[in-house]
Structure formats: structure tokens, C-alpha cells
């Protein structure tokens, strides 16, 4: 409803169109509320309360019998029930009337509107209530849309409940699985901690071994270079021996000494070579052991990565479980809100159905009354048409007499118009003479006229 406005002189105007008494009577009869024109033109407390009780029952779905239950409950808490019974019933009735008036845009509804009703004030209140009733009837299609939306919400609630049940079963399965796998996960965690400590130790050993391997590789490379140099020297010595044998020998003793020296150096070189080969074999064995340790270390690192991935998956499962729990709580809250809305809409729908049934009964009664009234009006119309013919004849006679009188008046006025003009001239002359006489008398007598 629109807000109330004010005239420039301070009078409060209602924020809705005013209805006449016939329109108010039609609206009340359409709602099935018995009322007479005199009840609206000269309202009394009894007729006003009867009309308001009918409006509350028709528009709010709260008959007077509905007040009895809360009234009995309140009286059960009081000591002197007989003293407060009528006053409590009237107060509850006034509360319903005020709520209806406030809903219809009338904010200054008071007890005086029920106990001491005034015709103009009663007309304003009824106009506001009837405008609201018309608006409600016009918005019936919107109410149907709301009911369809309510049905959609109910279907959605059922699907959400099924989804929530499915999610709860999944959560229960996950929690049971987590509870079953908890000792295994604890054992795996302990094993992971032990393996992590071993991996750290192996990592330190690997760093030390890698440093030793690098040193041994450098030493092996140096020995291999030295062995190659010695082999080159040995080949050169053998070539020199061969070249010396091929030449003529002038000093065999010296050659023998050289040969003995060379055999000694050769035996030394062979000993060094055998020691280098032993050291190379030891280094190759150590390299094989280190490579096997590296392979084991890589396997342990991969195992640690897989354990960490499993741990991350478990943490993600826990996070998803917590998210599902929070979503479930939110869905439960939404479901409770939707259930409360659904119950309210069901109540409104039941009230609307009751009102619709009453309105249909009223409509059927009104249709029967309308048909009867149409038949009565047809009979009256036939009678009126007959009377109209008689009155038409009388009217024609009277019109003829009127025309004759008008002609006689015109002739009379035309014949006596000169006499009337002469009389008017004599009247004005006598009036001027009387004024002159009065003026002269006042001057002669010395009188003063107060204007």
C-alpha cells in the first residue's frame, strides 16, 4: 500500500483510492459479509464489530472461534478469569483488527474505531481493506507461481537430502576406513621416520663415499697415466735392447751390466704395474659397491617420495572430509530453513484453499442470487415498461399543457411589458425623490449619518 499524504492545510489523506458506499456494499457481499447500507452510513459498535469479524475471517483466515483457544490458554494463567474474559477477548479481537488495518496501510487504527465508529472514518478503513482485497485477488497468479516455486524447492530439498545421505555414507565409509587404516598409517609413519633417519645417515655416507670415489678416480687416472708412461718406456727399452743386440758388441761386460740394470728396472716396473693393477681392481670393486649403494639410496629416496605422496593424499582426504562436514552442516541448515518455509507455505496454502472453498460457495450463492435477481428485474422491467407507457402518455399531455402555458405567458408578457416598464420608471423616480428628501431633511435638522 502507498504511504499517506497530507493536504496543504494539514489534513491527512489516505494513500489509496476511496470507494463509495455502493462499491463497499458490493465488495462486502462478494466476501460473504452480511451488511446493510445503513450499517455503513450510520455505523454502530455492534454492526462495525460484525463487519470487522467477517473481514478478519475472510481475509486473514482467523474466525472468532480461533480466538477461543489462545484465550483459554491465557485465562488458565490468571487468577480471576471471570473478570478478564470479556476484556481479553475484546483485546485479542482489536489486535487482529489493528493488524489487518496496518497491513492495508492504515497506521492510526485505534479502539475508538470499534467502540465509537464514525461514518467517514469507517468508510476510509473499509476502502483501505477493500483495496487490499482487490490487490490480493489481482496477485492470485503470483501466488500460484510462488506455490510452483515452493514445489520446486520441496523437490530440491528431497534431492539435497538424498545427496546429504550419500555424502554422509561416504563420510562414514571414509572415517571407518581411516579408523581401520590408522594403526597401519602409524606403523608406516614410524617406519618412515626410521627410514628418513637411515636415509639421512646414508646421505652423509654417500657424500663421504662420493668424495672418496672422486679422490680414487683422480688417483686411478694418475696411476693409469703413469702405467701408460712406464709401458711406453718399457717398449722403448725393449727396442733399444733389440737394437743393441743387433749391433756388434765391443764391450760385453758393459752390455751385461746394462742388461742387468734394465732387467732390475723391468722387474721393478712389473712389480709397480702389478701393484697398480691390484689397486685398480680394489678401486673397481669399491666403485661397484658405491654404485650398488647409490642404487639402494635412489630406491630409498623413491620410497620416501611415495610415502610423502601417500601422506599428502591422506591429508587431502582429511581436508576433503572436513570440507564435506562443513558443507553437510550448511546443507542441514538450509534444509531446516526450507522445511520451515515449506511448513509456512503449507499453512498459507491450506488457508488459501479454505478461502477458495468459501469463495466458491459464496460465488455459487451469489450466482443463484444473481439469477433470481435477474428474473425479478425482468419481471419488474416488464411492469415498468407498462407503467412507462402510461407515464409517457401523461408526459405528452403535460408537455402539451406546458407549451400552451408558455405561449400564454409569452402573450401576457408581451401585452403587459409596457406597463411593467412604466411601473419600474415610476419606482426609480420615487426612490430618487425619497433619497433627495432624506438628504434635505438631514441637512436641515443637522443630523449626521453614520456610514
144-170, pLDDT tens digit by residue? 777 788 788 878 888 888 888 888 888
pLDDT at 88: 72
What is the reported pLDDT for 286? Answer: 76
Average pLDDT, the chain: 77
- What average pLDDT does this structure show over 398-404? 81
Q: Is 248 left (phi over 0), alpha (psi -120 to 50) or beta?
A: beta
**Cell numbers given for 149:** 516455486
pLDDT at 81: 64
pLDDT digits (tens, 9 = 90+) for 55-91: 888 777 777 666 666 666 676 666 666 666 677 777 7
Distance in angstroms (rounded) separating the CA atoms of residues 234 and 226: 12
42 in Cβ contact with 119 (< 8 Å): yes
Q: Is the pLDDT of residue 259 over 50?
A: yes
CA distances in angstroms from 57 to 1, 19, 33, 52, 315, listed in the order given: 21, 22, 10, 9, 62
Question: How far is the CA of 80 from the CAs of 67, 86, 103, 342, 421, in angstroms?
Answer: 19, 12, 34, 40, 90
Cα 366 to Cα 51, 131, 213, 360, 372, distances in angstroms: 18, 21, 113, 9, 10
Provide the pLDDT for residue 255: 67
Asked if the model's pLDDT at residue 111 lies above 80, the reply is yes
Confidence (pLDDT) at 11: 40
**Is 338 in contact with 149 (CB distance < 8 Å)?**
no
Q: Which residue has the higher pLDDT, 96 or 2?
A: 96
Contacts with 249 (C-beta within 8 Å, 6 or more apart), sequence order: 255
Element (H, E) at 5: strand 5-6
At residue 344, does pLDDT exceed 80? Answer: no
Neighbours of 64 (CB within 10 A): 15
What is residue 71's predicted lDDT score, i.e. its pLDDT?
66
Res. 6 pLDDT band, cuts 50 70 90: very low
Rg, Å, the chain Cα set: 62
CA distance 52 to 93: 9
**pLDDT attached to residue 324:** 80
68-75 vs 81-103: helix crossing angle, rounded to 10: 140
Which tens digits make up the pLDDT trace of 10-60?
A: 344 456 677 788 888 888 888 888 888 888 888 888 888 888 888 888 777
CB 101 within 8 A of CB 128: yes
Closest listed residue to residue 41, CA positions, set 97, 120, 111: 120
**CA neighbor of 276 nearest in space, from 211, 233, 229:** 229
Amino acid at each position: 500500500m502507498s504511504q499517506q499524504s497530507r493536504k496543504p492545510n494539514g489534513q491527512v489523506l489516505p494513500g489509496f483510492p476511496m470507494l463509495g458506499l455502493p462499491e463497499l456494499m458490493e465488495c462486502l457481499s462478494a466476501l460473504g459479509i452480511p451488511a446493510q447500507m445503513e450499517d455503513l452510513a450510520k455505523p454502530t459498535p455492534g454492526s462495525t464489530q460484525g463487519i470487522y469479524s467477517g473481514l478478519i475471517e475472510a481475509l486473514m483466515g482467523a474466525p472468532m472461534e480461533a480466538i477461543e483457544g489462545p484465550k483459554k490458554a491465557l485465562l488458565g494463567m490468571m487468577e480471576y478469569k471471570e473478570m478478564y474474559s470479556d476484556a481479553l477477548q475484546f483485546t485479542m479481537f482489536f489486535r487482529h483488527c489493528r493488524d489487518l488495518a496496518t497491513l492495508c496501510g492504515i497506521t492510526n487504527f485505534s479502539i475508538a474505531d470499534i467502540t465509537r465508529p464514525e461514518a467517514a472514518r469507517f468508510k476510509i478503513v473499509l476502502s483501505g481493506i477493500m483495496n487490499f482485497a482487490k490487490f490480493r485477488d489481482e496477485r492470485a497468479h503470483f501466488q500460484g507461481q510462488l506455490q510452483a516455486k515452493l514445489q520446486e524447492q520441496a523437490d530440491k530439498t528431497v534431492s539435497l537430502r538424498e545427496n546429504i545421505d550419500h555424502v554422509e555414507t561416504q563420510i562414514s565409509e571414509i572415517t571407518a576406513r581411516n579408523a581401520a587404516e590408522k594403526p597401519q598409517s602409524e606403523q608406516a609413519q614410524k617406519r618412515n621416520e626410521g627410514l628418513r633417519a637411515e636415509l639421512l645417515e646414508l646421505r652423509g655416507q654417500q657424500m663421504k663415499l662420493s668424495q672418496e670415489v672422486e679422490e680414487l678416480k683422480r688417483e686411478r687416472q694418475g696411476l693409469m697415466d703413469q702405467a701408460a708412461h712406464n709401458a711406453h718406456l718399457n717398449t722403448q727399452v725393449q727396442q733399444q735392447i733389440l737394437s743393441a743386440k743387433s749391433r756388434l758388441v765391443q764391450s760385453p761386460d758393459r752390455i751385461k751390466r746394462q742388461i742387468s740394470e734394465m732387467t732390475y728396472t723391468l722387474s721393478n716396473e712389473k712389480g709397480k704395474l702389478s701393484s697398480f693393477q691390484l689397486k685398480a681392481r680394489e678401486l673397481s670393486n669399491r666403485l661397484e659397491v658405491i654404485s650398488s649403494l647409490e642404487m639402494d639410496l635412489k630406491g630409498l629416496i623413491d620410497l620416501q617420495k611415495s610415502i610423502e605422496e601417500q601422506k599428502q593424499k591422506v591429508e587431502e582426504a582429511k581436508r576433503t572430509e572436513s570440507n564435506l562436514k562443513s558443507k553437510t552442516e550448511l546443507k542441514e541448515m538450509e534444509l531446516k530453513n526450507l522445511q520451515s518455509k515449506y511448513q509456512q507455505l503449507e499453512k498459507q496454502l491450506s488457508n488459501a484453499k479454505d478461502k477458495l472453498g468459501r469463495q466458491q460457495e459464496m460465488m455459487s450463492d451469489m450466482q443463484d442470487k444473481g439469477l433470481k435477481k435477474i428474473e425479478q428485474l425482468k419481471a419488474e422491467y416488464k411492469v415498468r415498461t407498462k407503467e412507462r407507457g402510461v407515464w409517457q402518455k401523461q408526459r405528452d399531455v403535460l408537455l402539451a399543457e406546458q407549451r400552451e402555458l408558455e405561449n400564454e405567458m409569452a402573450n401576457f408578457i408581451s401585452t403587459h411589458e409596457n406597463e411593467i416598464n412604466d411601473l419600474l420608471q415610476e419606482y426609480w423616480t420615487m426612490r430618487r425623490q425619497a433619497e433627495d428628501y432624506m438628504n434635505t431633511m438631514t441637512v436641515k435638522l443637522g443630523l449626521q449619518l453614520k456610514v
